Amino acid sequence: MNINVPVVTENGKTITGKIYSEIISYSNNITYSHQVVRDNSIVYTPVTELKSQASLTMRQYRWEEPVEVPHDHWSFARFENDKLIPDPGYLYIKEGFKPGWLYDLVYIGKNPKLTGLGMAAIRDVVSFFKYEKGDESGFENPLVDVIDYAYAWGHSQSARLLYHYVYQDFNGDEKKRIVFDGIISNCGGGGKGLFNSRFAQTTRHGSHHENNLFPVDIFPFNTVEQY
């Protein structure tokens, strides 16, 4: 199930903000361009006239001191067939990416999307099929007499989404009725994710080497009482 969410504006004006992205190439060959985001996260278009405020650093391990990559050695572009093609979704580096190294990109982007609507949509869709006879447009619910209980199952990143869904109290609908009667979060670890924040990157998750600076592994780390 996918959802297209709207771009957020401030009284009709474009919203800009500082965006952080960690980029790693695991290719055994020299790679000159790489996706700015991980997997299918949203790409936030850079404000080109503010590139002077952007920075790119590199290091082999997170605990090492970063080395700055000069501005004239990188750009938002992809390298294909020996040609450089401008593309806000890719980072190009003149010297190429060192395999396994951490590249930290900070830039001013624009047009954040209302990502948190994803969890609201899960709540409202399941609640509708579970409780309502139909909607205001006249669409009849074919499942209202069939569903007794609703359960959710998630694996890996979708399991983190379910943790976050419960943590932010989405499992009660607007009429204070329970949505999911049970949730199985399989192989999601103890973390959550960037599922409801400005300039969210929903596929980020912390690991030993990657994504250590993203606020995804936050307290509490379990459903039992913690101190």
Collapsed DSSP state (helix, strand, coil) of residue 51: helix
Domain assignment present for residue 45? The answer is yes
Residue 56 lies in a domain: yes
Closest to 20 (Cα-Cα) out of 98, 100, 97, 108: 108
Rounded CA gap, 54 and 106, in Å?
5
**Domain end point (choices 86, 110, 134):** 110
Burial of 142 (0-12, 13-18, 19+ CB in 10 A): exposed
Residues 136 and 209 in one domain: yes
Kindly state whether residues 16 and 102 are assigned to the same domain: yes
Residue 89 is assigned to a structural domain of this protein: yes
With b for 16 or more beta-carbon neighbours within 10 A and e for fewer, the 29-68 pattern comes to eebbbbbbbbeebbbbebbeeeeeebebebeeeeeeeeee
227, pLDDT greater than 80? no
Whether the Cβ atoms of residue 58 and residue 5 lie closer than 8 Å to each other: no
Q: Name the pLDDT band for 48 (thresholds 50, 70, 90).
A: confident
83-86 and 74-75 beta bridge pairing? unpaired
- pLDDT for the residue numbered 17: 96
Please give the mean pLDDT across all residues of the chain.
Answer: 93
The pLDDT, as a whole number, for residue 94 is: 97
Question: Do 100 and 120 fall into the same domain?
Answer: no
Instruction: Name the percent of the chain lying above pLDDT 90.
Output: 80
On whether both 92 and 200 belong to a single domain, the answer is no
Look at residue 1 and tell me if it is in a domain.
Answer: no
Residues 102 and 158 grouped into a single domain? no
Quick one: pLDDT at residue 124?
A: 97
pTM: 0.89
pLDDT digits over 140-171, tens only? 999 999 999 999 999 999 999 999 999 999 99
> What is the tens place of the pLDDT at every residue in 33-43?
999 998 778 88
Clarify whether residues 149 and 79 are in a common domain: no
Q: Are 95 and 190 contained in the same domain?
A: no
Mean pLDDT within 177-206: 91
In a domain, 3, yes or no: no
Question: Both 87 and 147 in a single domain?
Answer: no
Same domain as 151, residue 130:
yes
Contact 74, 36 (CB under 8 A): no
Same domain for 142 and 75, yes or no, is no
The C-alpha angle 130, 135, 141, rounded to 5 degrees, equals 45
User: What does the chain come to in residues?
Assistant: 227
pLDDT at 102 over 80: yes
Amino acid at 126: V
SS3 per residue for 185-203: EECCCCCCCCCCCCCCCCC
Nearest to 22 by CA among 34, 9, 4: 34
> Which residue type is seen at 14?
T
Question: Over 80: is that where the pLDDT of 3 sits?
Answer: yes
The boundaries of the domain holding residue 172 are 115-227
Residue 14 lies in a domain: yes
**CATH classification of the domain holding 74:** 2.60.40
Q: How many separate domains does the chain show? A: 2
Residue at 174 is within a domain:
yes
* pLDDT score for 184: 93
pLDDT in tens, 49-79: 998 999 999 999 999 999 999 999 999 999 9
Are residues 143 and 42 part of one domain? no
The percent of residues in the chain predicted with pLDDT above 70, rounded, is 100
Last residue of one domain, picked from the residues 78, 110, 142: 110
Q: Is the pLDDT of residue 1 over 80?
A: no
Instruction: Please indicate, yes or no, if residue 119 is contained in any of the structural domains.
Output: yes
**Parallel, antiparallel, or unpaired: how do β-strands 182-186 and 151-155 relate?**
parallel
151, containing H or E segment: strand 151-155
Of the residues 110, 125, 142, the one at which a domain ends: 110
Whether residues 100 and 184 fall in one domain: no
- Residue 182's H or E segment, with its range, is strand 182-186
